[in-house]
Structures are given as C-alpha cells and as structure tokens.
Amino acid sequence: MKQILENLNPKVIEKLNKFFSETFLINFSEITHGHSTRFGILFEAMWRYYMKEELQSLGYMLNWICKNQYNDFYISDTEGNLICNVEVKTLCLNSDESKAHFDAIQSEILDTDLLFVSAWKWDVIDGLMKPLVVKSKYFSSRSIASMRDQLHILRGCDFIKEEPVNASGYRERITGPDENKPPKISHMANFGGLVRMLGTKSKEAKNKLEEFYDGNCDCRSYIEFVKFVKSK
C-alpha cells in the first residue's frame, strides 16, 4: 500500500496546492500564533478528500478515525478489511520550531502503519499568502518509532511501562504514570517531535543515527526529509 500511496501522491498534492491557491489566500497580518496547527487540520481534511477519490478508483476505501489520538485514517478494501493505518503530519518551513509530534508508543503501532509527513511554506501571490506543500513522503511508522525510541534513551531519557519519560523522570504523555506527573502541568509533551526526535549530542547517539541511516531505508528517507526541512 505504501508504494500505491507514493504513486498517487504527486497528483493529490497538485490538487491540494491548487485548492489552497484558489480558496485559502490571506493577508500577512492575519497569520497569527497557531497557524501551523490550523493548517494541519485543513490539510488532513483536504488530503483525505482527494486521496479518497484516487483510492476508490483502485478499489480501496480511505476512512477517517474520529478520535483525537493515533491514528488519523485507515485504509480498507471494499469489504472493510483493514489494510493499513495512516498518521498524517505537517511541518511548516516558516516556523522556528515545529510543534508536530509523532508520539505513539510501540504497542499502539501495527507493522503495516504508515506515517505521512508533508512540509509546507507560505507562498506569495499578488501580495497575498497561501500555503504551498513543497515536499511529502510516506514512512513505516514502526521504523521511525524504533529510531525515535532508541535516540530518546541515548539522550538520557527512559521508558516506564512503555511510556516515555524525560531525563528528569517526568512523563511525556498524559497516559504516563501518575507518579511521574510534572508539577503544574499534566505532561511534558516533548516526546516525538518530528524534527527534535533526531537530535543527537553524544558520540553514541550520533553513531546510532548513522546506523539507522545506513541500515533502514525508511529511516534514511526520514533523516533526509528532516535535513531538507531544517535547511529551509
């Protein structure tokens, strides 16, 4: 299914960008804090609209998962049999730090699950601004989560009953242990940042990242994707 989605992706992204250029033009002064989150919601809805059309023509169904947790969508055949789940994320090239996270723990991820990440920026047309998707890619969720988790440990962090905790022992997800709840807030919410998860300082962590780059094609593609985002 991953290859099918990759083959359909250029056509879907072209339709998305056309839609944004025709219906989502705004003044620069209207861009406020939180615009990346709002665009991410819009992107998910419109991506599903256009990708659903393409998949239906091939005999597949793209279904929205109506809950605020992993995953966003699932693909099935016409009889309703699950083929794979898809988690959709966006990265804004104009932001100093992306707020998008992939924080699903290993027990929540199936071997067939896919992580779809799109990088976008604000483009100018006749003095107005519109979102423009410049790069997107599908990855194995299992592969990216494995790389994320091993680098998490090499940064001095840990897992307690599968739940991530930071180097100070505070839980990263609201579902983490109550005894690891940080003061004044429910959870730290830093785990799985799409860009930050690849951060390495120690030699051991750098070597591990190189190991993933050389030994796993999905991880290599993801590392190159993040390098592209950071270079813009």
Ranking 17-31, 65-79, 103-117, 143-157 by mean pLDDT, the lowest is 17-31
Distance CA 230, CA 213 (A): 17
Q: Is 191 exposed, middle or buried (0-12, 13-18, 19+ CB in 10 A)?
A: buried
CB atoms inside a 10 Å sphere around CB 141: 27
Share of the chain above pLDDT 70, in %: 93
Q: Is the model's pLDDT at 33 over the cut of 60?
A: no
What would the pLDDT profile of 53-94 be if each residue is shown by its tens digit? 999 999 999 999 877 778 999 999 999 999 999 999 999 886
Q: Is the model's pLDDT at 97 over the cut of 60?
A: no
Strands 82-92 and 114-125: parallel
User: Coil, strand, or helix at residue 71?
Assistant: coil
User: Coil, strand, or helix at residue 34?
Assistant: coil
- HSE-CB at 114 with a 13 A cutoff on CA atoms is 21
Q: CB of 182 within 8 A of CB of 174?
A: no
Residue 187 phi, psi (nearest 5)? -165, 165
Distance CA 22, CA 45 (A): 16
Distance CA 192, CA 148 (A): 7
Distance CA 15, CA 7 (A): 14
pTM of the model: 0.93
Q: CB of 132 within 8 A of CB of 34?
A: no
- HSE-CB at 219 with a 13 A cutoff on CA atoms is 21
